[in-house]
Structure 1
Amino acid sequence: MVRKSLPSMRQRRLGTELRRLREQMDLSVTKAAGLLGSSQPQISSVETGRFAVSADRVRSMARSYTCSDDALIEALAEMTGGRTRGWWDEYRDMLPPDTLDLAELEHHATEMRTASVIHLPGLLQTRAHAHAVISDVVPALAPHEVEHRVSYRIKRQAVLYGENATPLTAIIHEAALRMGFGGSDVARAQLEYLLHMSEREHVTILVIPFGAGTFPSSGQGIHYLNAGVPSLDTVQLDTDHGSAFLDAQPQLVKYRTVLDRMERCSLTPAESRDLIRQVTEAT
């Protein structure tokens, strides 16, 4: 095993899942170490993400904990090694770690669902729209900090392009369409971009109209990242203090249910495009 610094959210999640498997067997760290021919500090370090662990070692640990879910075992094995190096590493000294964690999770996601009421999803924002929104955060950012965050947000959108584009379902309230961030020219270009993206095969945009009435989680943006195995999914919530990541099973079930109900409140994709066009023409 190799000592790591600043483990990513994804690597901490691997340790959390290995700990859950151990606890389901009612094994203490000491007993698990004896079972695996390891030491108590090593097991603890793996479970907190402080040490990298090989894919074969993860498979051995999972089977020693009598896990019989082959899909889960292989998904855990794929999460091994150090922090995935990607384009986001160039921002390591510029942005908070949880911001980089989001890009890494999106990179590995098999499907994404996002919901927003006031702000449009970051994955569907134009550069001008993102600049207008980020420039208005509190406390105010220096101009170079704004540019770093804008470029990072735009680069995240790479997951929506290419042969291996990640499917995205975006639930957007009509209010977000009408906010007009950045002025009429920026707002119109943003709406036209939404229409363009809605025509892409792997992007589904669903609009909740004002007439839909109440719906769950109406004041909170939700980003749900599928990992291929439901128990390894992650929910990311935007807060004034940064990203909050949730992965407990009751939380995952809750937010899957919330998103399902929000989709049922939404217009169809075709109806959503019609409403976006109407708002665009009125902007």
Structure 2
Amino acid sequence: MHFLEVAEVEGHAQGLSAYTMAFIHGLLQTDAYASAIFARSYPRLPAHEVDLRVGFRLRRWHIIRSEPTPFAAYIHEAALRMRFSGTKVQAEQLGALLEASEQPNISIRVVTFDVDTIPLPSENFTYVEGPIQELDTVQADSGLGSLLFDAPAHTARFRSLLAQIGSAALSEEESREFIRSIKKDMESQNA
């Protein structure tokens, strides 16, 4: 899926919910973290493509912070610990997550390693709420790229999955404390 389609879907959202296992969601990524993610893509992207995608991602980052659209991010512990570009970049990314979690429209909740396995159709997905439920859309990431789903049967499955993830995730405050502890550990390793 072309990244402009992502912006179009997000731009009309009444609410966003996302679950990520492998990396921090694009709407919450710092410049350095996004650069590290895109630089590791396979096949390798040319430097100008990495810069273009990082710039686009950062514009989306600013939009979610300036708009009142509710955004619920469920982040697996693995994504918090994965160091795409070393401990310094990851610690800065965790700090940015903590800052974002203070925004009134952003909820960040962690799913820890000790939670029973949640059945997932993909590693990462974003559920976009439309003005009416029939316009809801899911963007799912897989090893083959991103796919959009908007059939009622698909969106109903993802809504059910979000409910399961929400019941398994730490509360917002517990999640902030959990992220702070991981950040502190990384910073002590970097000292």
Please give the TM-score of this superposition, normalised by the length of structure 2.
0.93
**CA distance in structure 2 between the aligned counterparts of 1:218 and 1:99, rounded to whole angstroms:** 21
Aligned counterpart in structure 1 of residue 53 of structure 2, from 142, 146, 149: 149
Paired residue type of 1:251: H
Residues 121-136 of structure 1 mapped to structure 2, 5 A cutoff: 121-136=25-40
Aligned to 2:134: 231
1:101-127 Cα offsets, whole Å, 9 max, x none, are 110111110100000111110000001
1:8-47 counterparts in 2 under 5 A? none
1:47-196 to 2 correspondence within 5 Å? 98-162=2-66, 164-196=67-99
Q: 2:189 is matched with which residue?
A: none
Q: Are 1:281 and 2:175 an aligned pair? A: no
| CA displacement at 1:182 relative to structure 2 | 0.8
Structure 2 alignment gaps of length 5 or more = 187-191
TM-score of the pair, normalised by structure 1: 0.64
More strand by share: 2
Secondary structure of 1:113's counterpart equals strand
The Cα offsets for residues 33-78 of structure 1, whole Å up to 9 and x where unpaired, read as xxxxxxxxxxxxxxxxxxxxxxxxxxxxxxxxxxxxxxxxxxxxxx
Deviations 1:117-154, CA, capped at 9 Å, x for gaps: 11110000001000001001011111111101111111
Query: What residue is the counterpart of 1:199 in the other structure?
Result: 102
Tell me, yes or no, if structure 1 residue 241 matches structure 2 residue 136: no
> Residues 191 and 280 of structure 1 are in contact (CA less than 8 Å); yes or no, is this contact kept in structure 2?
yes
Describe the SS at the equivalent of 1:212: coil
Q: CA RMSD in A?
A: 1.3
Equivalent in 155, 166, 172 of residue 269 of structure 1: 172
User: For residues 211 and 240 of structure 1, what CA distance do their matches in structure 2 show?
Assistant: 25
Quick check: 2:65–2:103 contact (8 Å CA) kept in 1? no
The offset of 1:211, in angstroms, is 1.4
Q: Establish whether residue 213 from structure 1 lines up as the match of residue 116 from structure 2.
A: yes
Partner Cα separation in structure 1 for residue 162 and residue 141 of structure 2: 16
Q: 1:219, CA displacement in angstroms? A: 5.0
Contact 1:114 1:171 in 2 (8 A): yes
Q: Which amino acid aligns with 1:197?
A: A
Equivalent position SS for 2:19: strand
Give, in whole Å, the separation in 2 of the partners of 1:157 and 1:110.
17
Contact 1:117 1:219 in 2 (8 A): no
Distance in 2, Cα, partners of 1:200 & 1:221: 23
The question of whether the paired residues in 2 share the 8 Å contact of 1:174 and 1:209 is answered with: yes
Instruction: For 1:151, give the aligned amino acid.
Output: G
SS at 2:2 equivalent: helix
Based on CA coordinates, which of the two structures has the bigger radius of gyration?
1
Structure 1 residue ranges (4+ consecutive) displaced by more than 6 angstroms after TM superposition: none
**5+ residue gaps, structure 1:** 1-96
SS of the residue 2:163 aligns to: helix
1:218, 1:271 → 2: CA distance?
Answer: 27
Displacement of 1:213 in angstroms is 2.1
Flag the 1:197–1:115 CA change in 2: closer, same or farther, 3 A: same
Provide the aligned length of Structure 1 versus Structure 2. 186
